[in-house]
Chain A
Amino acid sequence: NAGVTQTPKFQVLKTGQSMTLQCAQDMNHEYMSWYRQDPGMGLRLIHYSVGAGITDQGEVPNGYNVSRSTTEDFPLRLLSAAPSQTSVYFCASSPRAGHYNEQFFGPGTRLTVL
């Protein structure tokens, strides 16, 4: 198993550009989520999904869109990039949404918005 994979590893955008961060898992996990981590801080939840076709907002959803058309993939779209979205983005997955389940994280995408 590859686990949770994220692409790209690094990305530089100009203000106003749009892009999609890719996340895929091959563990048949129902639950997937996106976090961002700003320098010196813990992770904050952006969006999450409890299964294909179902998504919901987390703590900091503004400026981001998600969709979940398959169990494996959970892309994060930046609609119009802003410097405040400069961060490291982590995707995670878990067998189910339960609060007792272990979560598996991807290696992250480091995004810089100029």
Chain B
Amino acid sequence: DAKTTQPNSMESNEEEPVHLPCNHSTISGTDYIHWYRQLPSQGPEYVIHGLTSNVNNRMASLAIAEDRKSSTLILHRATLRDAAVYYCILRAGYQGGKLIFGQGTELSVKP
């Protein structure tokens, strides 16, 4: 299974943009890049996913490097509610519905 590498923790100030990096140098051509987050004492929550092109939705943006070996989750204006563990997950076709979680990045947001 292709692995991802994320920083253990990051800090941000409220109302500032946050860039959460993820390295996935062994990604295969058909692997999707997914991001989930887990707020304290809650189940994981889908954030965004992409294959090759950058993606935007109401929660965040996903910037994918041209060689696809890294990606960045962008929260445009962090709020206190965005404090969570963010998981970058590669999903391969043969894995079907499986999500393989790593350690993730714990994001703290300062007022």
Contact = CB atoms under 8 A, between A and B. Distances in A.
A97 B101 CA distance: 17
A45 interface: yes
Nearest to A42: B101
21 contacts: A4-B43, A41-B103, A42-B101, A42-B103, A48-B96, A48-B97, A97-B96, A98-B96, A98-B97, A99-B31, A99-B32, A99-B91, A99-B97, A100-B32, A100-B49, A100-B91, A102-B46, A102-B49, A105-B43, A105-B45, A108-B42
B95 interface: yes
Nearest to A106: B43
Q: Is chain B's binding surface mostly helix, strand, loop or mixed?
A: loop
A105 B43 CA distance: 6
Given A42-B102, A99-B32, A102-B49, A33 B43 contact: no
A32 to B, nearest CB: 9
A77 interface: no
Interface of B: 31-32, 36, 41-46, 49, 51, 87, 91-93, 95-104
A58 B95 CA distance: 11
A8 B92 CA distance: 33
Interface of A: 4, 31, 33, 35, 41-45, 48, 50, 58, 90, 92, 94, 96-108
Nearest to B104: A42
